[in-house]
Amino acid sequence: MKLRQEILKVLEKNARTEWKELAVLLDAPEEDIRNEVSAMEEEGVICGYHTIINREGTEEEKVSALIEVRVTPQRGMGFDSIAERIYKFPEVDSVYLMSGAYDLMVILTCKNMQEVANFVSMKLSTLESVLSTATHFIMKRYKDHGSVLAKRYEDTRELITP
Amino acid sequence: MALPLNRQVLEMKPSGIRKYFDIIQGMEGAISLGVGEPDFDTPWHIRDEGIYALEKGRTHYTSNAGLMELKQEICAYLQRTQQIPYTPDQVFVTVGGSEAIDLCVRAMLNPGDEVLIPQPSYVSYEPCVVWAQGKAVIIELKEEHEFRLQPEQMLEKITDRTRLLVLPYPNNPTGAIMTREDLEPIAKICVEKDIYVLSDEIYGELTYDSKHVSIASLPGMRERTIIASGFSKAFAMTGWRLGYAVGPAAIVEQMLKVHQYAIMCAPTMSQYAGIEALRNGEADVNEMREEFNRRRRFLLHSFEEMELPCFTPYGAFYVFPCIKKYGCSSDDFAMRLLEEERLAVVPGTAFGDCGEGFLRISYAYSLDNLKRAMKRLKRFIGKL
């Protein structure tokens, strides 16, 4: 279990860490690490490996929005079935069940504002159990998944100290 | 007419790392593995507490010994980590662990008193002892002992003027540690020969195989040990200049007298930040320790691959590879490495003559940085 947590700690920061390097960093046999990672993929502990992209540096323009959704939970299903209806849309990045003033937080990425508007008015709001939506556009990403975007780390220490 | 300068200060040779610093300063694309401080910034909740202290106008002196709240937290911390029951009158807050070292020898030594200093070790012990009118007696630690102090080595150097032993573990520059088993015979000698110990435990939070053991936690040692420690390495707080001294009240009281006249008190906002560090910083320390440990393994593995011999260090954030097989001095090796590969390390001799044949390489750098540095080192070694 300890190895599992140690693997996750390294992969969470850098999913591209190679097997060989993982074995050195964690002082464990490569074989064990491979097995552990496969097991975690199998069990759904590791659900994917993604790249954090700072869109400001790319040609391709994308618009992200965060939508607060209030819904009527369904008997026997709670929020699960409506959440599934929503997360099946490919443009949806994340869906979270929230405590507080609204129920589901939906984050989506589209080509432009028009697409977001269409999604909300044509697809999301028209779902029967959706009571209301409030859409917020993301204007600038400073930090995402633990990575600070756009600003490089600068070592400001004295170069040599005792 | 001669300048009015103190002879002992004048005669002290300056730190051996200065010339490297001057060269690397003007160098394009150089990588340094030469620093003695964490690369992490101080955890934000600790910084926030410092900011809050400023905001609230905590910009005045504290009492000479430091904030009572902080002293209590230090006691609680030593109880928690070392099971040593100190009371606040045995503690005071200093400007970094280095001030505690200076005060300790100044308060304890009479002219001609001898102090045992194991080397390679931190650069300040010897000058501080000399300026306190003491006599520095060097014990040369050996790689074959993993740079742990051997009781026989200590016995050899003891005279009837020996007052104090400096115990610099976990060690800068070697990364060596002393386990309880290693400390027991040393403690026994101290008790028998009535020798006091200045235990520099600034790297005490950074051990990778077992928890650090303070010699003060051994039977009969609390009453003859002064612990100098601080926040710099454990909480990545070097720039806050915050440390402490702990020991028998009668000694601490005299150290405090010097502190009172020379310093007044440690920086107030730093002291407030220090309280937060001790109360809520444990998780940060664990996180940083794990990261250091991964880098330590990476470096040792890289050395193995390039067949650079290095004993396995279990403390601080340094490795201390041996370069004797290349037949050049530490200084030449380090200078050529800097000039030819633009990679700065510190020659072992900066930490005592017996550091000859070794290099101090710090792993207080990101893994990416270390990877780039190891490529350069490998290429350099290939040319030798």
Domains in chain B, number:
2
Low-confidence ranges of chain A (pLDDT < 50): none
The per-residue pLDDT for A154 is 84
* Cis omega (within 30 of 0) for bond into B248: no
Q: Please give the single-letter amino acid code of residue A44.
A: G
Structure tokens given for A140 = 């600038």
* Structural domain ending residue among the three candidates B281, B305, B320: B281
Residue B18 lies in a domain: yes
Residue A59 lies in a domain: yes
Alpha carbon distance B291, B293 (integer Å): 5
Residue B53 lies in a domain: no
CA-based nearest residue to A25, from B367, B311, B376: B367
Neighboring chain A residues of B35 at a CB cutoff of 8 Å: 157-161
Q: Are residues A66 and A122 in the same domain?
A: yes
CB-CB contact of B127 with B12 (8 Å): yes
Alpha carbon distance B363, B297 (integer Å): 10
- Does B120 contact chain A (CB < 8 Å)? no
Q: Are residues A31 and A70 in the same domain?
A: no
Distance from CA of B142 to the nearest CA of A (A): 21
CB-CB contact of B358 with B120 (8 Å): yes
**Which domain does A84 fall in, by range?**
55-139
Q: Are residues A39 and A110 in the same domain?
A: no
Q: Are residues B180 and B271 in the same domain?
A: yes
Q: Are residues A28 and A61 in the same domain?
A: no
Domains in chain A, number:
2
Q: Are residues B230 and B90 in the same domain?
A: yes
Interface touch A24/B39, C-beta < 8 Å: no
Q: Are residues B237 and B303 in the same domain?
A: no
User: At residue B2, does pLDDT exceed 90?
Assistant: no
The per-residue pLDDT for A61 is 86
Q: Are residues A36 and A104 in the same domain?
A: no
Q: Are residues B219 and B72 in the same domain?
A: yes
Percentage of chain B exceeding pLDDT 70? 100
Q: Are residues A27 and A61 in the same domain?
A: no
CA-based nearest residue to B104, from B245, B232, B285, B266: B245
Residue B1 lies in a domain: no
Confidence label for B188 from pLDDT (cuts 50, 70 and 90) = very high
Q: Are residues A67 and A128 in the same domain?
A: yes
Alpha carbon distance B296, A25 (integer Å): 8
DSSP state of B350: G
Query: What CATH code is carried by the domain that includes residue B175?
Result: 3.40.640.10
Q: Are residues B291 and B307 in the same domain?
A: yes
Sheet of B318-319, strand order: B318-319, B359-362, B346-347
Q: Are residues B36 and B131 in the same domain?
A: no
Q: Are residues A39 and A72 in the same domain?
A: no
Q: Are residues B262 and B293 in the same domain?
A: no
- Does B346 contact chain A (CB < 8 Å)? yes
Q: Are residues B68 and B198 in the same domain?
A: yes
Q: Are residues A111 and A61 in the same domain?
A: yes
Residue B2 lies in a domain: no
Interface touch B35/A161, C-beta < 8 Å: yes
pLDDT in tens, B249-301: 999 999 999 999 999 999 999 999 999 999 999 999 999 999 999 999 999 99
- Does B79 contact chain A (CB < 8 Å)? no
pLDDT in tens, B94-128: 999 999 999 999 999 999 999 999 999 999 999 99
The per-residue pLDDT for B19 is 86
* Structural domain ending residue among the three candidates B266, B281, B296: B281
Q: Are residues A126 and A62 in the same domain?
A: yes
pLDDT in tens, B15-63: 878 888 888 988 989 999 999 999 999 999 999 999 999 999 999 999 9
The per-residue pLDDT for A145 is 85
**Which domain does B358 fall in, by range?**
7-42+283-383
Helix H or strand E encompassing B256:
helix B249-262
The per-residue pLDDT for B260 is 97
* Structural domain ending residue among the three candidates B226, B249, B281: B281
Supply the ipTM of this predicted assembly: 0.82
Q: Are residues A39 and A61 in the same domain?
A: no
* Cis omega (within 30 of 0) for bond into B170: yes
Residue B246 lies in a domain: yes
Q: Are residues B196 and B299 in the same domain?
A: no
Interface touch B32/A26, C-beta < 8 Å: no
Residue B319 lies in a domain: yes
Query: What CATH code is carried by the domain that includes residue A97?
Result: 3.30.70.920
Q: Are residues B220 and B296 in the same domain?
A: no
Q: Are residues B154 and B179 in the same domain?
A: yes
Q: Are residues A88 and A108 in the same domain?
A: yes
The per-residue pLDDT for B333 is 97
- Does A153 contact chain B (CB < 8 Å)? yes
Q: Are residues B289 and B277 in the same domain?
A: no
Closest-CA residue in chain B for A5? Answer: B290
The per-residue pLDDT for B233 is 97
Q: Global pTM?
A: 0.91
